[in-house]
Amino acid sequence: MATTLTDSAFSAPGAARKADKLARLLAKERPLVMGVLNVTPDSFSDGGRFLEPPLAIVQARRLAAEGADIIDIGAESTRPYGGAVSVSLEEERRRLAEVLPAVVALGVPVSIDTLKAPVAAWALECGATIVNDVWGLQRDPDMARVVAEHGTPVIIMHNRETADPVIDIIADVAAFFTRSLDIAAHAGIARERIVLDPGIGFGKTAEQSLACIARLAAWRSFGLPILVGASRKRFIHAVVPSEPAERLGGSLAAHLAAVENGAAIVRVHDVAATVQALAVAAAIRRAR
């Protein structure tokens, strides 16, 4: 059974402590559940629902109560399916200003989902303890330095400007990870602070997203924990036509398969249902 993590020491300053805490989180004998909090007007599945700070804070409390191990907060939609409206640095910080400290105060480790190094730096100073970069340190040239200087764990996610149906997506993701890991090593980011993520739905056809989940073990050779974020994504619609809000069944199936294939963390909108599904799957495995 998953437990809510309320270890406030996770957000204590100090590089070593932050890295140790990631290691301790990952050492739990179950996959971790990262709950998504989108403080945005335009996220693909819940845009506008949590833009008002009081609503965002209520949602963060709900994610924590339902058993999220990490809360991933973002204030700029990354629009995996195009049509991104970029948000200024000031606007992104303004959206987060009231919400982030209240979320940090819940005691659940917080990751900041941002493309901008100054937003990441500011969020880390507010108590966030993980950086989630959906361009894997390859977009903002200052991101790796910020991560290294704060000694914080970082999620390196694969991305592409456009999907190319003819490429070998497994090899493309591996090459991207190799580039990101070189950037990280150059900046002095310790390897044990890195989590890899194939970026389900980002610059991928539905078939390629499915292949990434099916062949997760292909990236085991990097020797790093893997995060999978399949929640409500469009590849589910390609299998069973459905609106984003109707994709819970597909999200659960995808995350259970990801965990079966070695994912250490799943990034989800529906924490309670995911925690329950993972607990039952684990109980069945134990009963073998």
Residues marked active site are found at: 233, 267
The conformational region for residue 7 under phi > 0 = left, psi -120 to 50 = alpha, else beta, is beta
Segment interacting with ligand HH2 (CB under 6 A) among 117-125, 195-203, 251-259, 279-287: 195-203
Q: Which of residues 205-244 bind ligand HH2 (CB under 6 A)?
A: 227, 229
- Residue 15 backbone dihedrals phi, psi, to 5 degrees: -60, -50
200 binds ligand HH2 (CB under 6 A): yes
Helix count (H) and strand count (E) of the chain? 11, 8
Q: Which of residues 260-279 bind ligand HH2 (CB under 6 A)?
A: 267
First to last CA, the chain: 18
250 binds ligand HH2 (CB under 6 A): no
Segment interacting with ligand HH2 (CB under 6 A) among 119-127, 159-167, 196-204, 218-226: 196-204
Segment interacting with ligand HH2 (CB under 6 A) among 22-30, 39-47, 174-182, 247-255: 39-47
Token pair for 83: 């049509």
Q: Toward ligand HH2, which CB reaches closer, 8 or 237?
A: 237
Interior/surface letters 149-172, b for 16+ CB within 10 angstroms, e for the rest: ebbbbbbbbbbbeebeeeeebbeb
In the three-class reduction of DSSP (H, G, I as helix; E, B as strand; rest coil), residue 3 is classed as coil
Residue ranges binding ligand HH2 (CB under 6 A): 36, 38, 40, 43-45, 74, 77-80, 113, 132, 134, 155, 157, 197, 199-200, 227, 229, 267
